Amino acid sequence: MESPAVISTAPSASAVTVPESAWRRLWRHNKGWLFVAPAVLLWLFVGFYTVAFSIILSFHRWNGFAQFSLFPTYVCQEPGCRFVGLKYYEELLTWGTPPTKPFSTRLGTTSLS
């Protein structure tokens, strides 16, 4: 008969654990997010740029053909592009004198439909 295997409690060279690096831990626990991150960052950048450009453009009267640029420098060439400030927002909120419906009524109708 064979003798039973002896289990040693003394640490051997193979039993010593090497601490895991932060990058390896990040990769092991977040593989899905790391694969999706470039697409999410691109989507956020494009979304942020379009929203910011729309908000800035709402303060201008632009015919769509004149030079209008935000990056690297702000350019708005007359006569096709002109800064109007809060004029459009003022018109939106005060455009409710009879015989047209007030803005709040139109907003309520739109939100209910």
Range of the domain at 46: 31-107
pLDDT at residue 41, rounded to an integer: 94
Q: How many domains does the chain have?
A: 1
Residue 113 placed within a domain: no
DSSP states of the chain: -PPPPPPP-S--GGGPPPPPPHHHHHHHH-HHHHHHHHHHHHHHHHHHHHHHHHHHHTTEEE-SSS-EE-SSS-EE-TTTEEE-TTHHHHHHHHTT-TTSPPHHHHHHHHHH-
Residue 11 placed within a domain: no
pLDDT single digits (tens) 29-52: 888 888 899 999 999 999 998 898
Residue 21 placed within a domain: no
Reported confidence tier of residue 4, pLDDT bands at 50, 70, 90: low
